[in-house]
């Protein structure tokens, strides 16, 4: 079959599709093998990026490799998608296409920044309105992450649809394609803007503002904290927690005793169920008169579903000796690595 007998492909629609996921625009343009290869390549880079972030032993600088490769792939992929679609078209179609403002280019521009697509098609008023609303959402959104994810996704999808629908010329004979694209933008915007879900269930960054974990962690260190519902506390783990009595404060401490264990601090040594703990980070505990928890030479039994935590800098630490055992539900996650400053990067041990 000759090239001219093929149904024309919209180059900027191919770009929009490949903006969703590398390779989809190429598949739309009929380059099936090329498209599948790009899809698999992007997914592989995402996997490597997530693994390098969550793996304690992986140097944080290694994360830069998959990240740069992913950015380069996504940018090159957009140009390639446009080229692949353009090559399938006749010269007559391409000449006619360039004579008017392209509705799919308007959509793509508003996908990048809401309102820019409207300005491209000279809908100045609507362009300014969409840009202003986007700016308001950018300022207000962080105050309510869930509202930001939902409202922001709906706004992004509507801005793109409006840019397409407002274009002076549309070559599609039905609204099926734009409907599918708008729904895809809505779904992917929900997924992309759900940093709240990522922070709540996968990984979150924290910065240390105290010296209670010296020398393991220093003031100003920035750490990644891995979260999982199936986390089982282990003695020696460094965890981030938010005690119920101090909800406005986040603490970083080391687990010294587990649920049901009896802990005793005597002459700087920790004893669990009358056995000495041999853990370098839990040695040479400096006694503090801190109330009824962890009193020198007095055994204390940790309640079920709770842990007893201490700071590595035990002489200058607010920990379970002050506020008691921590319910496991108050543990945010386990600190896995330092990512900043770079000269201190590495696993938290």
Which residues have a catalytic role annotated? 212, 253
User: Is the distance from CB of 263 to CB of 270 less than 8 angstroms?
Assistant: yes
Q: Is 136 left (phi over 0), alpha (psi -120 to 50) or beta?
A: alpha
Q: Is 325 left (phi over 0), alpha (psi -120 to 50) or beta?
A: beta
Integer angstrom CA distances of residue 14 from 28, 99, 210, 254, 282: 7, 19, 51, 52, 58
| CA pair distance 336, 338, nearest whole angstrom | 7
Neighbours of 119 (CB within 10 A): 20
Backbone angles phi and psi of 119, in degrees to 5? -65, -40
Q: Which residues pair with 27 in a beta bridge?
A: none
* Chain centre distance of CA 197: 8
3-state SS assignment for residue 122:
coil
Query: Side-chain half-sphere of 290: how many Cα atoms within 13 Å?
Result: 21
Handedness of CA 227, 317, 267, 293 (dihedral sign): negative
């Amino acid at each position: 079959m000759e090239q001219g007998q093929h149904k024309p492909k919209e180059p900027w629609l191919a770009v929009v599709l490949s903006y969703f996921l590398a390779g989809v625009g190429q598949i739309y343009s009929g380059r099936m093998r090329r498209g599948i290869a790009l899809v698999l390549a992007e997914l592989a880079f995402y996997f490597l990026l997530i693994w390098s972030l969550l793996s304690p032993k992986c140097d944080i600088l290694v994360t830069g490799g998959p990240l740069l490769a992913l950015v380069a792939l996504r940018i090159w992929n957009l140009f390639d998608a446009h080229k692949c679609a353009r090559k399938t078209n006749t010269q007559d179609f391409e000449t006619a296409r360039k004579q008017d403002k392209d509705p799919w280019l308007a959509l793509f521009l508003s996908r990048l920044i809401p309102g820019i697509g409207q300005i491209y098609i000279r809908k100045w008023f609507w362009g300014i309105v969409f840009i202003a609303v986007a700016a308001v959402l950018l300022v207000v959104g962080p105050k309510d992450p869930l509202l930001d994810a939902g409202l922001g996704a709906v706004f992004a999808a509507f801005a793109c649809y409006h840019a397409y629908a407002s274009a002076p010329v549309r070559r599609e004979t039905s609204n099926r394609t734009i409907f599918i694209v708008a729904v895809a933008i809505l779904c992917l915007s929900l997924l992309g803007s759900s940093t709240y879900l990522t922070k709540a269930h996968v990984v979150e960054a924290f910065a240390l503002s105290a010296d209670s974990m010296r020398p393991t962690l220093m003031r100003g260190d920035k750490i990644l904290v891995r979260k999982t519902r199936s986390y089982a506390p282990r003695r020696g783990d460094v965890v981030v927690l938010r005690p119920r009595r101090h909800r406005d404060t986040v603490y970083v401490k080391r687990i010294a005793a587990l649920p049901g264990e009896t802990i005793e601090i005597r002459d700087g040594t920790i004893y669990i169920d009358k056995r000495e703990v041999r853990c370098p980070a839990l040695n040479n505990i400096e006694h503090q008169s801190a109330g009824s928890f962890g009193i020198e030479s007095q055994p204390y039994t940790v309640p079920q579903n709770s842990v007893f935590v201490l700071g590595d800098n035990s002489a200058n630490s607010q920990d379970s000796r002050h506020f008691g055992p921590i319910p496991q539900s108050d543990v945010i996650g386990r600190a896995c690595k330092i990512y900043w400053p770079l000269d201190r990067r590495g696993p938290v041990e």
